[in-house]
Amino acid sequence: MTTSIKDVARAAGVSPATVSRALGKGPVSEALRAQVLEAVRATGYRPNLAARRLRSQESGTIGLVLADIGNPFFTGVARAVEAAAYEAGLRVLLCNTDEDPAREAAYLALMQEERVAGLILAPTRITAEGLAEAPPAMPVVLIDRPGPPGLFDSVLLDNAGASAALVDHLVAQGYRRIAGLFGQTSGTGVERAEGYRAAMARHGLAPALRFVLPQAEAAETGFAALCQEGQPEAMIASNSLLLMGLLRAARGAGLRIPTDLALAGFDNEPWTGLVEPGVTVIEQPLEAIGRQAMALLFERLRTPAAPIRKVMLSGRAVLRGSTASVRARLHNSTKTPPPSSFTL
Amino acid sequence: MTTSIKDVARAAGVSPATVSRALGKGPVSEALRAQVLEAVRATGYRPNLAARRLRSQESGTIGLVLADIGNPFFTGVARAVEAAAYEAGLRVLLCNTDEDPAREAAYLALMQEERVAGLILAPTRITAEGLAEAPPAMPVVLIDRPGPPGLFDSVLLDNAGASAALVDHLVAQGYRRIAGLFGQTSGTGVERAEGYRAAMARHGLAPALRFVLPQAEAAETGFAALCQEGQPEAMIASNSLLLMGLLRAARGAGLRIPTDLALAGFDNEPWTGLVEPGVTVIEQPLEAIGRQAMALLFERLRTPAAPIRKVMLSGRAVLRGSTASVRARLHNSTKTPPPSSFTL
DNA sequence: TTGAAAGCGCTAACAG
DNA sequence: CTGTTAGCGCTTTCAA
């Protein structure tokens, strides 16, 4: 049997209510507070959160439902969310769906049962669609991935713009046959594909793209498929897992980067700068995404009827050797260009 | 106001107790169960977990307290733990301490307040020491990092053996001046350092080692320090963040791997195979560590008085170009040797 | 098999 | 400022 507030009250010679007040913010005389604190120490008392939540009808918790805890993008965002929540005196319930809509549904149900105050969610496409018909009971902020338009607050990257920036950069470097590989489980993959399509069209170039599962293995299959449809000079991947898969596949095929194939993608993970000749990527502002999501959630909790807000953040292009210019390729320069970056 | 079990009972024309039984495993007639399920659907009822836990005195939850959610080692273990917990019908409360003993203490307190059934913990050295005097109220399984001997179930890598294997391999490849960089916040760093020391002594070689914070930046400082004390031919890092820092620093210093400096470390992360010429590492069995930890926890919950168990798992050495033999270096071979591996 | 009643541990409302 | 009382939503006796 664990010690309860009654035990502490008895030990301190006060009522349970006084113990509660001494531990919380109620008005208590300094003398009694000291007695209570001493009794807490003596008994080793730890309040029972289940009881507290049941009585106060507040969970003091927000939910964070992510698609892939192995993806540094999401762990980075999770860090920021947790820091912001901590500063606000809230706990974070973190769940990992592994891109599985069934698990996603189970976790959304769990969040209701936990009575979390609000939810930050990176939904798969399937869940995102269902969100319109069966919205969760609590405020929701979508991150990274779009949902049904106008229904939920959201924090998104300017995905179309970012894809277009990559295409523009590749074209400026002299590439023409640019293929794209995009994740099929997320709305983000779709948006990035659209940006790619639009940019290719703007340059009068023919798009060549494929949607695959967002895994390195799937990327290797996609690589083969893209190669068959007309010898691309460059490839774009819509996330870092796919990017890694493309790099591996290119290596496996004996292609040299960027001499035989240029490469660009999303997320400035450490390895993209470590691998020779460095991989050009769009860096996403992880910290800002997490903070902004929390800010939107707080404001929604404060004023539930406020209009829906969609915040679009810009990425930063980090240019590296994997997209060195065609001229540099022709001169057979093996030197890595100095990395540079610009904000979209 | 959210709908409660009473609302469902009223809608179904039964008592709250019957609703509870219909949703749980109590004996209910099929007719009533159907009525209840229909009423649940109609009302959109979601049980309140706080109330359920308070009444049943079971949280149905285990705690997982990790040192660094950005470290793929921990996310890998977390995946396995979560999968095993899910199969057992338990939830996982995941917390990230960022190697901060203060946060660690706060989370341990939280776990008590949540009344989790048990705890899986990767403690910092400071917390590990304190564990002996103030043990948590629930069963604890330590992972990755040792605690006070004989007090807690634990799942550890054979750290000393793994370090020794790296030293042996380097010596066999012809290296003599082998330096080591170890994380200072974890007992694991200490054990790996001891294994390194012992192996160096066995080979009659002088050790040169430093303890630093387990961060890539700290590794770059440590690199400089190690270089000053006598031009190492090879370096070992006790985790992947340090390993990455060493690689960066070596590159920054214009050193070529392994021609000017051989490199080896822990954790077979994707980038270690992607970076030229490939980095030799000890791969840890993430899945097995997580599963084994859950198994120990379950058995402890079943038989609390059973003797303490310490499970040591072996790593797998993945040999890559970063530790190519001295002979190969002298012949100036730039070919990457075919990667190979062996179990310790 | 079902319902009524009690109570898990806590805090909020109300007296004093 | 402090104590008494009630009740959050649920499950679990105990009767029927």
Over residues B121-131, the pLDDT tens digits come to 999 999 999 99
Evaluate if residue B276 carries a pLDDT over 60: yes
Please give the radius of gyration of chain B, using alpha carbons only, rounded to the nearest integer.
26
Contact, B260 vs B232, CB < 8 A? no
Q: CA torsion, points B20, B26, B27, B31, in degrees to nearest 10?
A: 40
Residue A300, pLDDT above cutoff 90: yes
The stretch B280-299 carries a mean pLDDT of 98
Q: Between the CA of B290 and the C1' of C12, what is the distance in angstroms? A: 44
- Is pLDDT of B335 > 50? no
Which amino acid residue lies closest to nucleotide D1, measuring CA to C1'?
A28
The tokens for A344 are: 């979209």
Across the interface, whether the CB atoms of B113 and A271 are under 8 A apart is answered no
Q: Do A115 and B48 touch (CB under 8 A)?
A: yes
Cβ–Cβ gap B274/A47 under 8 Å: no
Q: Is B115 left (phi over 0), alpha (psi -120 to 50) or beta?
A: left
- The model's pLDDT over A117-162, given as tens digits with 9 standing for 90+, comes to 999 999 999 999 999 999 999 999 999 999 999 999 999 999 999 9
Q: Do A110 and B94 touch (CB under 8 A)?
A: no
Mutate to test the interface with B, among A96, A138, A215, A243 (most CBs of B within 10 A): A96
Q: Tell me, what's the pLDDT at A335? A: 47
How many C-alpha atoms does A286 have within 13 Å on its Cβ side?
Answer: 18
Mean pLDDT of all residues belonging to chain A: 93
- From the CA of A46 to the C1' of C5: give the distance in Å: 29
Query: With 90 as the cut, is the pLDDT of residue A336 above it?
Result: no
Q: Closest to A72 (Cβ–Cβ): which among B50, B54, B70?
A: B70
Q: What is the pTM of this model?
A: 0.93
Task: Read off the pLDDT of residues A38-77 as tens digits, 9 standing for 90 and up.
Answer: 999 999 999 999 999 999 999 999 999 999 998 999 999 9
Categorize the per-residue pLDDT at B229 as very low, low, confident or very high, splitting at 50, 70 and 90: confident
Among all residues of chain B, which has the CA nearest to that of A216? B270
Nearest nucleotide, CA A57 to C1': D8
The residue type at B343 = T
Give percent of chain B above pLDDT 70: 94
Percent pLDDT > 70 in chain A is 94
Q: What are the residues whose beta carbons fall under 8 Å from the beta carbon of B297, sequence distance 6 or more?
A: B62, B118, B119, B120, B139, B141, B153
Q: Is B271 on the interface with A (CB under 8 A)?
A: yes
Q: Which residue has the tokens 């893209």?
A: A226
In tens, the pLDDT along B79-96 reads: 999 999 999 999 999 999
Best B59, B91, B112, B320 member to test A by mutation, with max A CBs in 10 Å, is: B112
Whether the link from the prior residue into B277 is cis, omega within 30° of 0, is: yes
Q: At what angle do helices A30-43 and A16-23 cross, to 10 degrees?
A: 100
d(CA A73, CA A188): 13
A26: confidence class by pLDDT, cuts 50, 70, 90: confident
Q: Please give the pLDDT value at position B303.
A: 94
In this predicted model, what pLDDT tens digit does every residue of B148-174 receive, in sequence order?
Answer: 999 999 999 999 999 999 999 999 999
The answer to whether the CB atoms of A115 and B70 lie below 8 A apart is no
Whether residue A112 and residue B276 make contact (CB cut-off 8 A), yes or no, is no
Query: Which of A 42-61 have CB under 7 A of nucleic chain D?
Result: 51, 54-55, 57
Beta bridge partners of B310: B154
d(CA A2, CA A106): 31
Which residues, in sequence order, are CB contacts of A41 under 8 Å at separation 6+?
A: none
The per-residue pLDDT for B329 is: 60
For residues B324 and B173, is the Cβ–Cβ distance under 8 A? Answer: yes
User: Which nucleotide has the shortest C1'-to-CA distance from A20?
Assistant: C11
Task: List all residues 6 or more positions away from A5 whose beta carbon is below 8 Å from its beta carbon.
Answer: A16, A19, A20, A45, A47
B112, A46: Cβ pair inside 8 Å?
yes
B259: three-class secondary structure by DSSP: coil
Model confidence band, residue A343 (pLDDT cutoffs 50, 70, 90) = low
Phi, psi (deg, nearest 5) at residue B285: -80, 85
Q: A272 and A243 in contact (C-beta within 8 Å)? A: yes
Average pLDDT, integer, range B279-289: 98
Show the beta-strand stretches assigned E in B158-251.
178-183, 208-212, 234-237
CB-based contact B13:B27 (threshold 8 Å): no
Q: Nearest residue of B to residue A64 by CA position?
A: B94
A10: phi then psi, degrees, rounded to nearest 5: -60, -45
In the numeric block, which tokens belong to residue B343?
Answer: 């179990």
The answer to whether the beta carbon of residue A305 comes closer than 7 angstroms to any atom of strand C is no
How is the beta sheet containing B208-212 ordered, strand by strand? B208-212, B178-183, B234-237, B262-266, B280-283, B316-319, B340-343
Give residues 221-260 of chain A lying near strand D (Cβ < 7 A): none
Q: Within a 10 A sphere around the Cβ of A299, how many other Cβ atoms? A: 15
Please tell me the distance from the alpha carbon of residue A26 to that of residue A296, in angstroms, as a whole number.
30
Q: Both tokens of residue B219?
A: 């590794």
Indicate if CB(B4) is under 7 A from strand D. yes
Cα–Cα distance measured from residue A80 to residue B133, given in angstroms and rounded to the nearest whole number = 33
Distance from CA(A24) to C1'(C14), angstroms, rounded: 19
- Give Cβ neighbours of residue A280 (< 8 Å, ≥ 6 apart): A166, A169, A263, A264, A265, A317, A318, A319, A320, A322, A323
Residue with CA nearest to D3's C1' atom: A15
- What residue is closest to D5 (Cα–C1')? A17
Q: Which nucleotide is nearest to B46 (CA to C1')?
A: D9
The sign of the CA dihedral B52, B54, B57, B61 is: positive
- For B218-236, b/e burial (b = at least 16 CB within 10 A) is bbbbbbeebbeeeebbbbb
Structure tokens at B77: 């273990």
pLDDT of residue A328: 64
B contact test, residue of A82, A108, A112 with most B CBs within 10 A? A112
* Token reading at B48: 């309140």
